[in-house]
Amino acid sequence: MRYLPLTEADRAAMLETIGAASVDDLFVDVPAEARLAGPVDGLPMHASEMAVERHMTALAAKNINAGSVPFFLGAGAYRHHVPASVDHVIQRGEFLTAYTPYQPEIAQGTLQVLFEFQTQVARLFGTDIANASMYDGSTACWEAILMAARITRKGRTVLSGGLHPHYGEVVRTMARFTQDNIVSLPTELSGEPDDAAVIAAIGEDTSSVVVQYPDVLGRIPDLAAISDAARAKGALVIAVVTEPVALGLIEAPGNLGADIVVGEGQSLGVGLQFGGPYLGLFGCREKFVRQMPGRLCGETVDAEGKRGFVLTLSTREQHIRREKATSNICTNSGLCALAFSVHLTLLGGEGLARLAAVNHARAQATVERLSRIPGVSLLNQAYFNEATLILPRDAREVVRELAERKVLGGVSLGRLFPEADGLHHGLLVAATETTTDEDIESFAKELEGVLA
């Protein structure tokens, strides 16, 4: 077999060295009745590279990939152009096939990348510091809530109505088990997010308030006002950014008073990948560093005084603190962090600003064209690259009918909020630098056809 270097002669020689008659003798600790006599039932036998490729290619061909049709989905995962060099870097064996940098003297490549990544995330978010990544945005969000509870020693969390419902579900699921008190504000179809409702929900017992920016409907909350109100009550503000490209154009949450900023980094370098692996971003104030979850890379010097990098403050972590750790996270999203970092290095701050401006311009073109269709109207007062359109009927059916016409025309609010009947005419539409005028026109024509 092509992945197994031992030959039959090797195996025989090694068994002799070991002093075993057969390989089965090495499995003596397994009770005889639990040992399988042959290959597991119901599974195919080994296959050549060519045969496997044929099987997998056939499966891939059953999907409609985003790049092959007019495509307007967002809602926490965005299709951006990833420069070709990003994938070449992450496929270098020294990065791809390295393990967690437990031996820093021979892992400076990975460690320096993590240090650069942490710096990039902190500057993008406007936070003092950032960690070396989490699984994804939704899990980073829950970890931020736990961290805020440790810092404030309070246990009530307010989720704004603009939080992505999947993120909210993750939080509510976890909180049921940890018995944290979660207040979920309703999501309403209004042109601006209900910041007043968020502020009114913050009490003296509130540990944190979670605000998505831009929010799940594409609206932009007034983070500065919410931060002022939270500070007055001793609560921390957790800003959630599901589209980091937005921060090339709109102000960084940390600069508006957010104490912890978490996000989904998939937009830069990672790609859609049907939802994973993605990249959890996590930044915060420096004074909270010892309450942070996840790995941290820090600068130091070696025995000759040369600058070098190590994983640090590991006394927060599970392999040292066991049941007293700040989190159980071990493996994070290292390779996705590398992809994000390479993409952002290629862009630089000015390039990101330009990319963001183009995204916003493409979204304006999309929204203007679609809202000219009779019965279609724009909800948002402001938006970045994603906005909510109100359709004359349930958007779930419209999305399905558009797909039959080979247009992937956004995410219906019914899919995201199945229990909120009042939202079901809402259609979330995203555009990026990949959206062409022809895409917009095709979408508009087919939407007109579906609604006619």
Partner 1 sequence: MNAVNAAGWRPAMGGAEEPAEKFATASGDYGLMLEEPLSFELGATDKCGVDIDAPDRAPAPGLSKFLRKAAPNLPGLTEPETMRHYTRLSRQNYAIDLGPFPLGSCTMKHNPRLNEKMARLPGFADVHPLQPQKSVEGALEVIEQLADWLTRLTGMASVAMSPKAGAHGELCGLLCIRAALDARGETRDVVLVPESAHGTNPATAAFAGFKVESIPATPAGRVDLEALKAKLGPNVAGVMITNPNTCGLFEPEMKAIADAVHAAGGYVYCDGANFNAIVGKVRPGDLGVDAMHINLHKTFSTPHGGGGPGAGPVVLSEALAPFAPLPFVTRGADGSIHLVEEENRGEGHARSFGRMVAFHGQMGMFTRALTYMLSHGADGLRQVAEDAVLNANYVLRACEDLLPAPFAKSGPCMHEALFSDAGLAEGFSTLDIAKGLIDEGFHPMTVYFPLVVKGAMLVEPTETESKAGLDRFIASLRSVAERAKNGDESLHTAPHFAPRRRLDETLAARKPVLVWRGDAG
Answer yes or no whether residue 347 interacts with partner 1 by CB under 8 A: yes
Nearer to partner 1, 87 or 204 (CB): 87
Answer yes or no whether residue 1 interacts with partner 1 by CB under 8 A: yes
Nearer to partner 1, 204 or 315 (CB): 315
How far is residue 230's CA from residue 401's CA, in Å, rounded to a whole number? Answer: 44
Answer yes or no whether residue 99 interacts with partner 1 by CB under 8 A: yes
Q: How far is the CB of 44 from partner 1 (least distance, A)?
A: 5
Query: What would the x/- binding string for partner 1 be over residues 296 to 325, using CB under 8 A?
Result: xxxxxxxxx-x-xxx-xxxx-xxxxxxxxx
The one segment of 155-163, 195-203, 331-339, 439-447 that binds partner 1 by CB under 8 A: 331-339
Answer yes or no whether residue 243 interacts with partner 1 by CB under 8 A: no
Q: Are 295 and 154 in contact (CB under 8 A)?
A: no
Answer yes or no whether residue 436 interacts with partner 1 by CB under 8 A: no
Nearer to partner 1, 159 or 204 (CB): 159
Q: How far is the CB of 156 from partner 1 (least distance, A)?
A: 17
Of positions 145, 352, 391, 450, contacts partner 1 by CB under 8 A = 352
The one segment of 103-111, 204-212, 231-239, 438-446 that binds partner 1 by CB under 8 A: 103-111
Q: Which one-letter DSSP state was computed for residue 364?
A: H
How far is residue 333's CA from residue 396's CA, in Å, rounded to a whole number? Answer: 33
Query: What would the x/- binding string for partner 1 be over residues 56 to 95, using CB under 8 A?
Result: xxxxxxxxxxxxx--x-x-xxx-x---x-x-xxxxxxxxx
How far is residue 418's CA from residue 426's CA, in Å, rounded to a whole number? Answer: 12
How far is residue 15's CA from residue 31's CA, in Å, rounded to a whole number? Answer: 21
Answer yes or no whether residue 438 interacts with partner 1 by CB under 8 A: no
CA–centroid distance for 377 within its chain: 30
Answer yes or no whether residue 241 interacts with partner 1 by CB under 8 A: no
- Cα 412 to Cα 74, 213, 399, 403, distances in angstroms: 10, 20, 7, 12
Q: Residues binding partner 1: what is the number (CB under 8 A)?
A: 216
Name the token pair of 47. 């296959």
Answer yes or no whether residue 403 interacts with partner 1 by CB under 8 A: yes
- CA torsion 181-317-139-431 (nearest 10°) is 140
Q: Which one-letter DSSP state was computed for residue 58?
A: H
Strand order in the sheet with 129-130: 129-130, 280-284, 260-264, 236-241, 206-212, 156-159, 181-184
- Residue 207 backbone phi and psi in degrees, to 5: -85, -40
The one segment of 11-19, 149-157, 181-189, 444-452 that binds partner 1 by CB under 8 A: 11-19
Answer yes or no whether residue 32 interacts with partner 1 by CB under 8 A: no
Side-chain half-sphere CA neighbours of 288 within 13 A: 25
Q: How far is the CB of 419 from partner 1 (least distance, A)?
A: 8
Give the footprint of partner 1 on residues 156-195 (CB under 8 A): 164-167, 169-170, 172-174, 176-179
